Amino acid sequence: MSADNGPLIIGFLCNWCSYAGADMAGTSRIAYPANIRIIRVPCSGRVDPLLIVKCFEEGADAVLVAGCHPGDCHYNEGNYYSRRRFALLRALLDFMGIEKERFQVKWVSASEGKRFAKIITEFTEDMTKLGARKAS
Amino acid sequence: MVADFTQQIRDKAKELLEKGTVECVIGYETGSDGFSARPAFIYESAEVERLIFDNTCSHNLVKYLLNKKGKPTAVIVKGCDSRALNLLLSEKQIDRDNIFIIGVVCPGVVEWGWNNHSDQLQIRCNWCRQHNPVIYDFLVGEPVTEGPPDDFADIAAMETKSTEEREAFWREQAEHCVRCYACRQACPGCYCIDCFVEQLDPEWVGIRIAPEENLMWNTIRAFHLAGRCISCNECERVCPVNIPLSLLNRRMEREVLGLFDYRAGMSEDAVAPLITFMKDEKLGIGE
């Protein structure tokens, strides 16, 4: 969004795994780029495609949805639904001119602080290479 | 052939209304320009002579059943429209017991506008693989053999463009959009009482008619029809600024077919792909 601060990434993290994973990264003092703005949601299944499209409309460079690994959902099956939903949304966004790379879905468990930091670091690097979105 | 279709439809409508099986027959009549069809609602058996069927009958009349809940109604459907019936039945929006379906083996519909008549088939007919109705109580016409599976050549052509070109293409389309919501009003799959676009809290789509808001509307509408669109292409036909909405809907249709081997509206007890899941599937997401 802004050339100085690098890409703006919005992250929707599920309360039970990924948000706790991000917390774990923090308490373990693992540094990751501040380009991600985290929004805590009850479940990755709660993330309505409207939220994703709205982020892009309002000028986000990339969006991340992170949830529990399949089989680990706190609500048993929320992430299975979101997996199907976002497989379709990703194809639609790509078709409409938002690169596939800009919308990522990742599974991060509560103990994977290191993995969370790695995902954010790599995602930020990729988005910096890809550059800001020309639109909006 | 088509004159014969008209007669068969009139005879059946007359019988249904006289017996009292239904209180209304939803069909087509000649519009006031003298040749293009428009929807007709026939309540009296004396009025059945108004009904016609020809190659300008493009409206998807299934949409009107949503206003006829609880009232026995007969409806005339072409192949594509019949899939919309299955869609609404599977989503429990209409009651099969109240509906009498007059299916017509579709000869194809032509491009037409007000006082403007051509022999050119509408683009939906090029990719149509459903000339025969999938659900009906009474069939008009002889079932035909359907063509080979669709190759989605229009989508593939669009995908050869770069992401920037596609972005620019859709942005330009969004600049034309006036958000009249004709696409939604014509769509049998769009029946939400409170559409997201009219919600004020949260206000998903702002009230101003600007490209960003228009793009948001068209993206989300396409997504809400993913795995539900039955390719009647009425949205594109009614669009006053000719936005190629079929590209979006067909992109989703191809994806759903590829990932889940599913075509919307093929059976009345189908389970749509986004309301179910399989634990071990690989969809290229999260891996």
DSSP class of residue B161?
A: S
Cβ–Cβ gap A57/B212 under 8 Å: yes
ipTM: 0.92
> Quick one: pLDDT band at residue A17, thresholds 50, 70, 90?
very high
State mean pLDDT over B152-170: 95
> Quick one: pLDDT band at residue B276, thresholds 50, 70, 90?
very high
Confidence (pLDDT) at B117 = 78
Confidence (pLDDT) at A2 = 53
CATH of domain A9-130: 3.40.50
A94-107 per-position pLDDT tens digit: 999 999 999 999 99
> Quick one: pLDDT band at residue B116, thresholds 50, 70, 90?
confident
Whole-model pTM: value is 0.93
Our CA-based measurement puts residue B210 at a distance from the nearest CA of chain A, in whole angstroms, of 11
Our CA-based measurement puts residue A28 at a distance from the nearest CA of chain B, in whole angstroms, of 24
Which residues on A lie below 8 Å from B167 (Cβ)?
Answer: 96-98, 134-135
Does residue A70 belong to the interface with chain B, where contact is any CB pair within 8 Å? yes
* CA–CA separation, B198 and B53 (whole Å): 36
Confidence (pLDDT) at B95 = 95
Cβ–Cβ gap B223/A49 under 8 Å: yes
Does residue A117 belong to the interface with chain B, where contact is any CB pair within 8 Å? no
> Quick one: pLDDT band at residue A135, thresholds 50, 70, 90?
low
> Quick one: pLDDT band at residue B76, thresholds 50, 70, 90?
very high
Does residue A77 belong to the interface with chain B, where contact is any CB pair within 8 Å? yes
Our CA-based measurement puts residue B256 at a distance from the nearest CA of chain A, in whole angstroms, of 8
A91-94 long-range contacts (CB < 8 A, ≥24 apart) are A91/B251, A91/B252, A91/B255, A92/B219, A92/B222, A92/B223, A92/B226, A92/B248, A92/B251, A92/B252, A92/B255, A93/A52, A93/A53, A93/A56, A93/B219, A94/B163
Does residue A81 belong to the interface with chain B, where contact is any CB pair within 8 Å? yes
Our CA-based measurement puts residue A111 at a distance from the nearest CA of chain B, in whole angstroms, of 17
Closest CA in chain B for residue A81: B277
> Quick one: pLDDT band at residue B173, thresholds 50, 70, 90?
very high
* CA–CA separation, B21 and B242 (whole Å): 40
Residue among B171, B34, B172 nearest A98 (CA): B171
Does residue A19 belong to the interface with chain B, where contact is any CB pair within 8 Å? no
Classify burial at B148, counting beta carbons within 10 Å of its beta carbon; exposed 0-12, middle 13-18, buried 19 or more: exposed
Confidence (pLDDT) at B1 = 57
State mean pLDDT over A45-71: 96
Cβ–Cβ gap A83/B166 under 8 Å: no
Answer positive or negative: Cα dihedral of B199, B200, B203, B205.
Answer: positive
DSSP class of residue A2?
A: B
Question: Which residue ranges make up each domain of chain A?
Answer: 9-130
State mean pLDDT over B238-247: 96
Q: Could you tell me what percent of chain B has a pLDDT over 90?
A: 89
Confidence (pLDDT) at A36 = 96
Q: Is the pLDDT of residue B27 over 70?
A: yes
Which residues on B lie below 8 Å from A115 (Cβ)?
Answer: none
State mean pLDDT over B42-58: 95
The pairing of beta strand B73-77 with beta strand B99-104: parallel
State mean pLDDT over B109-137: 90
Question: Which residue ranges make up each domain of chain B?
Answer: 2-140, 153-275
Q: Is the pLDDT of residue B198 over 60?
A: yes
CB B92 within 8 A of CB B39: no
Cβ–Cβ gap B251/A70 under 8 Å: no
